[in-house]
Amino acid sequence: MQEPSNQNLTAERPTFVSHLECSMTGERYEADEVHGLSRAGRPLLVRYDLDAARKELSREAIAARPADMWRLREILPVREARNIVSLGEAATPIVPLTRTAARYGASGLLVKDEGRLPTGSFKARGIAMAVSMAKAFGIGKIAMPTNGNAGAALAAYASRVGIETVVFCPDDTPEINVREIALQGARVYRVNGLIDDCGKIVGDGAAAGAWFDMSTLKEPYRIEGKKTMGLELAEQLGWDVPDVIFYPTGGGTGLIGMWKAFGELQKLGLIGSKRPRMIAVQAEGCAPMVKAFQEGEEHAPRWEGAHTIAAGIRVPRAVGDFLILRAVRESGGVAMAVSDDDLMDCVEEAAREDGFLLCPEGGATMAAWRKALDAGLVGKDERVVLFNCATGLKYPLPDHSETLDRHAVPDFATL
């Protein structure tokens, strides 16, 4: 039987990658070599010859391609089509929350639903890219710290191409995540600590030569995968950007990646100079970026005693802290914290009013929107995009059901 062909995955298209660059010092690194952090201990960013790429990337040429995260291969790092590892990363829809918005006298509230991606979260974007590059480099074993979704994506994509994986997660990681990681072929360890404690184990193992460290922003390619959220969003809005983006911020890879995407799209002539205000949303129980933002700092020290129900944003310390804070400030945005009660209230409200089941982190973005609306930080008619980063079905849900005795005569009017 012939496999259905997707030309984004099969066509040999040039990548215009030129080199890598330290995000702190600008020091240049060669492409096509295995890299972790820069010599300064900071994330490396992939750079492209955008003048050359521009000739291939007219709006018409792009529109004729399949709608998935591999659509703009010219500004993605994978050179050869045969190295692409894919589980079908279709473009995710933008869904309006019309009834919810109306309750606040607002319109234009949109959700980018990343829960539709393989493994049920947007971690698939970053990991698909990073595992494709690992395959190209012939890497045989990868380790990663995770709060759940990244580990699940790593297990799935790496197993698909026979790469061995070892995953470390805090011992209170959502149970479904721990189980899907193991089921998809990884060895998974529950660790009595937080994600940065897990990260230390991974880093020590990498230093001892045991495996490759795929922690977020500690290798250069996950961010290139997450960048596709920005590319996709701009195209879906008719090559425009929204007024405001609310992003649930853990390591911040998606926020930094989208900011990079908008810069590249402008240089490609595909969008103008307008930028969305980037709102970094955190939980009150773990808000290192919010604290650093308010104090005018460029870096964020470790947040002690981190706790929140929104596991994906329980990240006490981020190696890309200065990149998150720069993007937020340059965009005219803010960093905001919300309470667990508020974010769960939003999960319930969006589900009840609009039939949209947000994950807790998605609920946090809606809670921040409500707060920002109240404080006059966003207008009622502004075009706002919330990021729902995982399917709400991955998380424990509140129980609002009732029981019924089948032997009793029901009073149908009250059912």
Ligand X SMILES: *Cc1c(COP(=O)(O)O)cnc(C)c1O
Contact flag: residue 359 with ligand X (CB under 6 A): yes
Contact flag: residue 390 with ligand X (CB under 6 A): yes
Out of 108, 174, 288, 312, point to the residue binding ligand X (CB under 6 A). Answer: 312
3-state secondary structure of 65: coil
Using CB under 6 A as the binding criterion, the count of chain residues that bind ligand X stands at: 18
Considering the complex, what minimum distance in angstroms separates the CB of residue 146 from ligand X?
8
Piece in contact with ligand X (CB under 6 A), picked from 97-105, 199-207, 251-259, 335-343 = 251-259
Contact flag: residue 184 with ligand X (CB under 6 A): no
Interface of this chain with ligand X, residues 137 to 156, rule: CB under 6 A: 149-150
Give Dmax over CA atoms of the chain in angstroms: 77
Contact letters (x/-) for ligand X, 94-123, by CB under 6 A?
---------------------------x-x
**Number of C-beta neighbours around residue 35 at 10 A:** 18
Out of 151, 230, 252, 363, point to the residue binding ligand X (CB under 6 A). Answer: 252
Considering the complex, what minimum distance in angstroms separates the CB of residue 108 from ligand X?
23
- List Cβ neighbours of 406 (8 Å cut-off, separation of 6 or more): none
Contact flag: residue 249 with ligand X (CB under 6 A): yes
Contact flag: residue 361 with ligand X (CB under 6 A): yes
Helices and strands per DSSP (H, E), number in the chain: 14, 13
Interface of this chain with ligand X, residues 316 to 355, rule: CB under 6 A: none
From 295, 232, 233, 227, select the one nearest 260 (Cα to Cα). 227
Contact flag: residue 389 with ligand X (CB under 6 A): yes
Is residue 258 within 8 A of residue 226, CB to CB? The reply is yes
- Could you give the CA distance from residue 145 to residue 218 in angstroms, rounded to a whole number? 11
Contact flag: residue 276 with ligand X (CB under 6 A): no
- Could you give the CA distance from residue 314 to residue 199 in angstroms, rounded to a whole number? 13
Interface of this chain with ligand X, residues 189 to 248, rule: CB under 6 A: 216, 248
- Could you give the CA distance from residue 202 to residue 142 in angstroms, rounded to a whole number? 9
Considering the complex, what minimum distance in angstroms separates the CB of residue 91 from ligand X?
18
Phi-psi region of 94 (alpha: psi -120 to 50; beta: other; left: phi over 0): beta
Out of 254, 288, 333, 392, point to the residue binding ligand X (CB under 6 A). Answer: 254
Considering the complex, what minimum distance in angstroms separates the CB of residue 305 from ligand X?
20
User: Closer CB to ligand X, residue 184 or residue 249?
Assistant: 249
From 331, 403, 405, 392, select the one nearest 361 (Cα to Cα). 392
User: Closer CB to ligand X, residue 53 or residue 309?
Assistant: 309
Name the closest residue to ligand X (Cβ): 312
User: Closer CB to ligand X, residue 15 or residue 146?
Assistant: 146
From 272, 278, 284, 285, select the one nearest 254 (Cα to Cα). 278
User: Closer CB to ligand X, residue 91 or residue 310?
Assistant: 310
Considering the complex, what minimum distance in angstroms separates the CB of residue 314 from ligand X?
9
Dihedral sign for Cα atoms in the order 19, 20, 23, 26: negative
∠ CA 180-87-144, rounded to 5°: 50
Is residue 179 within 8 A of residue 156, CB to CB? The reply is no
Contact flag: residue 86 with ligand X (CB under 6 A): no
User: Which residue ranges make up the site for ligand X (CB under 6 A)?
Assistant: 121, 123, 149-150, 216, 248-254, 312-313, 359, 361, 389-390
